[in-house]
């Protein structure tokens, strides 16, 4: 998905970590 591509790119660039909670980046999901 487009979101998955953006997420993977951000992780690859070190902007986000898979260890961080998703809600840190997408609080509307809660």
CB 18 within 8 Å of CB 10? no
The per-residue pLDDT for range 1-30, each reduced to its tens digit, is 666 766 666 666 766 666 666 666 566 655
Residue 25 Cα distances to 6, 12, 16, 30, angstroms: 12, 16, 9, 11
Q: Quote the pLDDT of residue 14.
A: 63
Q: Quote the pLDDT of residue 16.
A: 62
- State the sign of the Cα–Cα–Cα–Cα dihedral 16, 19, 24, 28: positive
Measured in residues, the chain has a length of 30
Q: Quote the pLDDT of residue 12.
A: 65
Q: Quote the pLDDT of residue 28.
A: 65
Q: Determine the Cα–Cα distance for residues 19 and 8; give it in Å rounded to an integer.
A: 13
pTM above 0.85, yes or no: no
Q: Quote the pLDDT of residue 25.
A: 59
**CB-side neighbour CA atoms (13 Å) of 26:** 6
């Amino acid at each position: 998905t487009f979101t998955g591509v953006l997420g993977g790119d951000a992780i690859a660039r070190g902007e986000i970590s898979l260890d961080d909670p998703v809600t840190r980046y997408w609080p509307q999901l809660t």
